[in-house]
Amino acid sequence: MNETLRTWHRAIEEKDVGALDLLIADDCVFHSPVVHTPQRGKALTKMYLSAAFMVLANDTFTYVREVVGESDAVLEFTVEVQGIHVNGVDMIRWNADGQIVDFKVMLRPMKAINLLNGLMRQMLQQTS
């Protein structure tokens, strides 16, 4: 496992939002499963990922499959939130410095998307 993924996994396990400061590149683009427009920049990416840590990083969160390339990875995860089983994929690309430059999240099923949309919206409103 490369250092970027090692740092990402450690941040999730420890719910260490501060680790995102060094991990995310200034020009990072975040693709939300519910927001049509890509969110550009480190500040927006950190805001979305920080909210996701609060909503998803519980004891049931686990990565169940990882496909890793030289500068990107697809990480499939499962988690239970408010009794709903969520299956998702994080698609991460990093630059030569090991900083994340593109982060895309995909979720299923629709019931989970709707639940997480509401929970994420609440978290984002609290942080803005």
Strand 100-108, strand 62-68: pairing: unpaired
- pLDDT tens string, the chain, 128 residues long: the values are 799 999 999 999 998 999 999 999 999 999 998 888 999 999 999 999 998 888 888 899 999 999 999 999 999 999 999 999 999 999 999 999 999 999 999 999 999 888 888 888 887 777 65
50 sits in which H/E element: helix 42-56
Task: Write down all domains in the chain, each with its CATH number in brackets.
Answer: 3-127 (3.10.450.50)
Strand 72-81, strand 84-94: pairing: antiparallel
The DSSP 8-state label assigned to residue 38 in this structure reads: P
pTM confidence score? 0.91
